[in-house]
Structure 1
Amino acid sequence: MGKKRKTSSLSPSSSVLSSWSHLPPELLEQIFALLSPSDRHRFRLICAPWRGVAKQCLPAFPLPFEPPRLCLTRPDKALSFFDLFNSKSLSFSLPSSHRRTRCFGYLSGWFVLVSDEKPARACLFNPVLVAEVPLPDLEFPIEKAILSAPPGFPNCVVAVMGRSTSIALCEPAGKIWQVLDLGQRLFRDIIFWRNQLCGIEIHRNMLICKFDMESRCTSILTVRLPELWKSDSEGFLVESIGGDLLAVMRGYQKFFVFKLSKQCTWEYMEQIGDQALFLGVIRSESVPVNRFLGSGLKENSIYWASRKFESGFGIAVVYSMEDEVMTAVPVTGRYTIQTEPIWVSPVIWP
């Protein structure tokens, strides 16, 4: 009888995986650089060596790998993330401790959740990292919340815009909210921009606030909004992909975009180029279209969502800056209009 062959303990699939995992890191880095954002996300899931290469290649700040999705609240209180470009939804049930909460803000995977209790409990929650950061209780109702950076990053500050006249700040895990002394002003939108807090108020002004969390000192610059701006119009603040501050006014089936100049004057923009703006009551952002080629994302366009139905359009529309035409975006699935839809960008964490 001939000698018995030794059998390998590795299965065919594990053998193939082993060979892939031993590719030179230099080669993997070159491959990673050529991948689309969504493929970079898949790259990380192959094996530990590939994940290590991806971590070295990724910037420290979380990187979006898909165009923004629309976060909706279902009747059963679960969250539904609707993909406008594939008409598909992904559902997520919040932990039982957060079932009686509403989302008032989002940044890089972190949701600002506020309970319906009095005083209201607040926290930052990341469902992917399964992480939670407590915030001080809120003594007043709010309209929205924003973050200057994700928790754990330098200069991370949370700001909330009250329904009345209050804007308050705190740092993650802070003990109290620092209410800014801005007088009796009612705001329509707020944004962090270049380490400053900017806000649109109803009297056609924009405030630029420089603040210091340690000294609690605040300096305020008031900038008059453009003459075309109507005080009763819905307004949004968003940072362009080039870092400029944009103020967007929604008119009757038309959007007006203005850019703040270095002289603190406004320049009317007839076109916004190779970017798309996503606007909403809770959150707005700009997206470079060339990062998501083939996704269906339209450049020089504005995507707007609101629980207030636009006559004949529904809760989401896309507006072409070139053609000045507004088109309905079908949103399927079960959801409630008791809460505002929120634009969220799926991100890759290092």
Structure 2
Amino acid sequence: MASHVSTKSEEGEEVVVGQSVWADLPSELLERIVHTLDPLDRVAVRLVCASWRATCVREFSFPFEIPRLLIRRPDRGGELAFFSVKDGRILPFALPTWLRASRCCGHIAGWLVMAFDSERRIKVCNPVLCRYADIPYPPMFPVSKMVLSGPPTCHGWVAAALGRTGMMIALLQLDRQGTRWMAMGFEEAKQHGGFRDMALWRGDLCALCHDGAVFVFHSNLGLRTVSVSQLRDPEHALGMSRGSRWQLYLVDLEGALMLVRKRYESMDDKHVEWEVEVKVLASLEKRSWEHVTEIPSHALFVGSVVSEAVPAAAYAASGVREGCIYFARREVEAVVPSAICEYSIEEGDMRYLPVAGRHNTDVEPVWITPFI
């Protein structure tokens, strides 16, 4: 039955001015429409009406509020489970047992990028829909991180892979000719100590080097060409120094490219000093970066696998606070207890997030963030 669009006359009487059938489209047809859209268009689709939003949620979402933290539990046969920031506990929803031998190296819109290192293969899985798609063998292995422009159900989706050694990044696109990997960044990685993070920004791939330099790669997969421009100059050596460690992340916040840095310094077994710094690319032409003192209306979730900005008000019920950065990192867990924490930029306070039931630090904890 078609839905009516009405208004009121000057006398206060309801007058039907037209009819809309969009809300009454069959769910099968709506799903086919959603499959053809890119991630940004899906935002508009969710705002059309309740039935369109329900289709997006049913197709791409997990059966609980997000963001959540995906971890491996050492006490349950190594199963992958989710930790609730709000409740401070492990959720009963766990991933299928056949994923136990894998680790998560990326996520988008309810789809997890799972690497099976022993088998040297990668799958993109939707555990809610029980669907998966194979990713062609990348030019580097193992892969530490993959970012996707959209789910594998979207037309023309693109994936980028970062090797664990950090000396190569690669782009993948599926088209009529098949699958195409294009490796890039060899010289930049060699000159700047390798890559430690990457992000899709304004349709291009940005890469963050160990010395703090940032590059953007403008690629044409069809012509197999790529041009490189530098967005940020190197800093002092940011790697491991005596008793301290820097973590660096790239985050896209509604078109603004942000650099998040966190430093740990272990003074002794019980005392740890830390420092957090956020910068934003203020001028693309001048390559200038400015310090960020507040993040209005948003929160940042950062980690070595997934980093994303989310609207804080939309997820306040999940315990997300405006202007906060949520960190999750495996490699410092043995050094300090603040590997998983919440940092307020305005207050300058760090709040640790203890994971109930503990977790296996052999794999990276991964933020499962809201789909865009």
CA shift in 2, pair 1:302/1:225, >3 Å = farther
- Determine the structure 2 residue equivalent to 1:5: none
SS of equivalent residue, structure 1 residue 177:
strand
Task: Map 1:1-350 onto structure 2 (within 5 A).
Answer: 25=3, 54-57=50-53, 66-75=65-74, 76-88=77-89, 89-96=91-98, 98-117=99-118, 120-138=120-138, 139-164=140-165, 165-172=167-174, 174-183=178-187, 185=189, 186-225=194-233, 231-232=238-239, 233-240=246-253, 242-252=254-264, 253-261=274-282, 262-263=284-285, 264-307=287-330, 308-309=332-333, 313-345=337-369
Q: Is the 8 A contact 2:199 2:251 kept in 1?
A: yes
Instruction: Return the alpha-carbon distance in structure 1 between the equivalents of residues 3 and 68 of structure 2.
Output: 33
- Determine the structure 2 residue equivalent to 1:11: none
Instruction: Return the alpha-carbon distance in structure 2 between the equivalents of residues 145 and 294 of structure 1.
Output: 29
Instruction: Return the alpha-carbon distance in structure 1 between the equivalents of residues 195 and 117 of structure 2.
Output: 22
1:90 Cα deviation after fit? 3.1
**CA-to-aligned-CA distance 1:1-56 (integer Å, 9 cap, x gap):** xxxxxxxxxxxxxxxxxxxxx9x8569xxxxxxxxxxxxxxxxxxxx8xx996333
Q: Is the 8 A contact 1:160 1:167 kept in 2?
A: yes
1:92 Cα deviation after fit? 1.8
Instruction: Return the alpha-carbon distance in structure 2 between the equivalents of residues 287 and 346 of structure 1.
Output: 7
Structure 2 unaligned residues grouped into runs of 5+: 6-26, 32-48, 240-245, 265-273
SS of equivalent residue, structure 2 residue 329:
strand
Higher relative contact order (CA 8 A, sep 6+): 1
Instruction: Return the alpha-carbon distance in structure 1 between the equivalents of residues 370 and 290 of structure 2.
Output: 32
Structure 2 length as normaliser, TM-score? 0.72
SS of equivalent residue, structure 2 residue 129:
coil
CA shift in 2, pair 1:333/1:326, >3 Å = same
Instruction: Return the alpha-carbon distance in structure 2 between the equivalents of residues 60 and 93 of structure 1.
Output: 21
Matched to 1:305, the amino acid is: A
1:298 Cα deviation after fit? 1.2
Matched to 1:206, the amino acid is: V
Instruction: Return the alpha-carbon distance in structure 1 between the equivalents of residues 97 and 224 of structure 2.
Output: 35
Q: Is the 8 A contact 2:156 2:174 kept in 1?
A: no
Percent sequence identity over aligned pairs = 31
Instruction: Return the alpha-carbon distance in structure 2 between the equivalents of residues 113 and 172 of structure 1.
Output: 18
Matched to 1:313, the amino acid is: P
1:312 Cα deviation after fit? 5.4
Alpha-carbon RMSD across the aligned residues, in angstroms, is 3.2
Instruction: Return the alpha-carbon distance in structure 1 between the equivalents of residues 344 and 334 of structure 2.
Output: 16
Structure 1 unaligned residues grouped into runs of 5+: 1-21, 28-47
Matched to 2:328, the amino acid is: A
Q: Is the 8 A contact 1:77 1:93 kept in 2?
A: no
Structure 1 length as normaliser, TM-score? 0.77
Instruction: Return the alpha-carbon distance in structure 2 between the equivalents of residues 60 and 210 of structure 1.
Output: 31
**Paired residues, number:** 303
Matched to 1:115, the amino acid is: F
Matched to 1:198, the amino acid is: C
1:184 Cα deviation after fit? 5.4
Greater C-alpha Rg: 1
CA shift in 2, pair 1:230/1:183, >3 Å = closer
CA shift in 2, pair 1:90/1:194, >3 Å = farther
Instruction: Return the alpha-carbon distance in structure 1 between the equivalents of residues 367 and 232 of structure 2.
Output: 28
Instruction: Return the alpha-carbon distance in structure 1 between the equivalents of residues 101 and 78 of structure 2.
Output: 8
SS of equivalent residue, structure 2 residue 187:
coil
